[in-house]
Amino acid sequence: MPAVAEAPAARHFGIGLPDVPAVPPRKGAGCAPVTTSSDGRGRSTASWAPRAGSPLEKYVFPGGLIPSVRAIEDAVRDHTAMRLVGSREFGRDHAETLRRWRERFLARGDEVASLGFDETFRRMWEFYLAYSEAGFRVGYLGVRQFTAVK
């Protein structure tokens, strides 16, 4: 799976979009998978984390934003020469990916520790993987691949 755009800083959401019309330079198509929120509006990670200032908001995605599908559609329409022509949701599949990553991470705890990561880091990372898996599994979070043309 290609890299997923995850929790861009809220203050930067849409900033790079004016550059998108240059890619491709003439006509063409492109795809981008993006982590999305399901509630119809972008959410800062402070609002979807268990509490503001939580380890997720503080260490994993500080100041991040999980945009809604509509926010992405609006930003592409309003700030680029691209036109969205399709999308595919696969958040529940991503939940399974996260479950497998967490299992492998936990199975290799000694190796992770030997790399210098302490118990606090390991527990925070386990929490992040489990919490995110649950969000994708119940549909609160999504992963949507957008297809755009110029």
User: Using H for helix, E for strand and C for coil, what is the string for the chain?
Assistant: CCCCECCCEHHHCCCCHHHHHHCCCCCCEEEEEEEEECCCCCEEHHHHCCCCCCHHHHHHCCCEEECEHHHHHHHHHHHCCCEEEEEEECHHHHHHHHHHHHHHHHHCHHHHHHCCCCHHHHHHHHHHHHHHHHHHHHCCEEEEEEEEEC
pLDDT band at 25 (very low <50, low <70, confident <90, very high): low
Decide if pLDDT at 112 tops 70.
Answer: yes
Give pLDDT tens digits for 70-108.
Answer: 888 888 888 888 889 999 999 999 999 999 999 999 999
Residue 1 inside a domain? The answer is no
Range of the domain at 69: 10-149
pLDDT score recorded for residue 42 = 52
Decide if pLDDT at 23 tops 70.
Answer: no
Residue 2 inside a domain? The answer is no
Q: How many domains does the chain have?
A: 1
Residue 18 inside a domain? The answer is yes
pLDDT score recorded for residue 18 = 47
pLDDT band at 31 (very low <50, low <70, confident <90, very high): confident
Residue 4 inside a domain? The answer is no
Residue 5 inside a domain? The answer is no
Q: What is the CATH number of the domain that holds 67?
A: 3.40.50.150
Summarize the confidence of residues 107-118 as an average pLDDT: 95
